[in-house]
Amino acid sequence: MDGKVIHNQRSAGIENLDDLPQFPYGRFQNKSYDFGFVISSRGCPYDCFFCSNKINSQRKFRYRSAEKVVEDLTLLFTKFNRKYVYFLDDNLLVNHKRIKDLTEEIKKSGVFGKMHFNFQARGDNCNEEIMLMLFEAGFRGVYFGIETASEKLMQIVNKGETVQEVIDAVGLAKRLGFFVSGNFIFGLPGEKPQDRKDAFKLAKKLKLDIVKYNNATPYPGTELYHIALKENRLYIQGLYENLNSVSSFIEKPFQKTPFSYVPEGNTEKQIKMDIYLGSLKFYFNVRRFTRVFTNPDKNVAWFDFGHSFSDFIKKLPSTFVLLFILSIKFSGFLIQYPFYTAYYKIKDLRK
């Protein structure tokens, strides 16, 4: 107001999510809207030091009743012909009792057997009983925030679970037939280049279906933000334009977006190169690469060609632009990589 920034009081937060009206899907009739998402809970009781959840929800976990969630799924199926829905809850499996209610409600409903679902979870929240319940109700894809292959870094980021617990959960999910995606964060405080190499090995060992390597991003209010500030390593561009964990991929080829945080003992170049290297290692494989374009139903595809031939034709120009940008990025990487490795080898020998 009058050129001043006014900071409102925090809202108390909605205790009972069932008090909220149903999302007005009917107001968004344009076919280009993607309705393949629901949110059945808000908040997460864990305290991972990079996660913005603490700021948004103050770790207060609340959830909608199973009946309300299934009402949404039924509407999405009957009115909007959605057969695949991604549960965008930050952490679906916080409360196993409510998952039991939800899966039972889905099994009683008319969408059972006709719809499939994907969700995000922590490894330590998974056990055979709950994963089987989910699979039987139609859940088919799970996305794990693996974050790191290093037990030491896992403790530093206050994840509250071990790498081994994530490994066990991924093994269980794969054994039951889930499509498993995993996310790693590169550039955490205390991280060494070898930790990133270990992440590549772990992604391969776990036989993940999709993997993403993101750069650590210090969102204001998180512990990571305070660490970056204290270490004098916080770099904010403009109006927080570079607070982006996937900037390596979405930055314009000739207009770089600097990372907002680079931990001591690393350079931005090293981390970015490792993000490209890890992605190239993983997706330099016809089966894995095609998944990126052919599994929009699992909500993991980077690109959705739509549902019909005319959608496909309409999306061809943007596909070419995307492929062009990716080829510039990766050819730049392939040209620079030998020089980059030689430089660091010489540097290590001189130590």
Contact residues for ligand SF4, defined by CB under 6 A: 44, 46, 48, 51, 53, 90-91, 122, 145
Alpha carbon distance 284, 277 (integer Å): 10
- Closest separation in Å from C-beta 135 to ligand SF4: 22
- Closest separation in Å from C-beta 53 to ligand SF4: 4
Position 335, amino acid: I
Residues 132-149 as b or e (16 or more Cβ within 10 Å = b): ebbbebbbbbbbbbbbbb
CA 319 to chain centre: 22
- Closest separation in Å from C-beta 94 to ligand SF4: 8
Our CB check for ligand SF4 shows the closer of 246 and 325 to be 246
Describe the chain by its helix, strand, coil percentages, rounded to 5. Answer: 50, 10, 40
- Closest separation in Å from C-beta 185 to ligand SF4: 10
Closest to 42 (Cα-Cα) out of 32, 29, 52 = 52
Our CB check for ligand SF4 shows the closer of 39 and 75 to be 39
Helices assigned H by DSSP within the chain = 53-57, 66-78, 96-108, 128-137, 151-156, 163-176, 193-205, 223-230, 247-250, 268-283, 286-294, 309-350
- Closest separation in Å from C-beta 89 to ligand SF4: 9
Alpha carbon distance 47, 53 (integer Å): 8
- Closest separation in Å from C-beta 245 to ligand SF4: 12
Tokens of 207: 């036989």
Our CB check for ligand SF4 shows the closer of 214 and 266 to be 214
Our CB check for ligand SF4 shows the closer of 222 and 295 to be 222
Our CB check for ligand SF4 shows the closer of 46 and 276 to be 46
Count the neighbouring beta carbons within 10 Å of the beta carbon of residue 336. Answer: 14
Our CB check for ligand SF4 shows the closer of 66 and 166 to be 166
Tokens of 169: 């959960």
Alpha carbon distance 131, 114 (integer Å): 19
- Closest separation in Å from C-beta 126 to ligand SF4: 12
Our CB check for ligand SF4 shows the closer of 49 and 333 to be 49
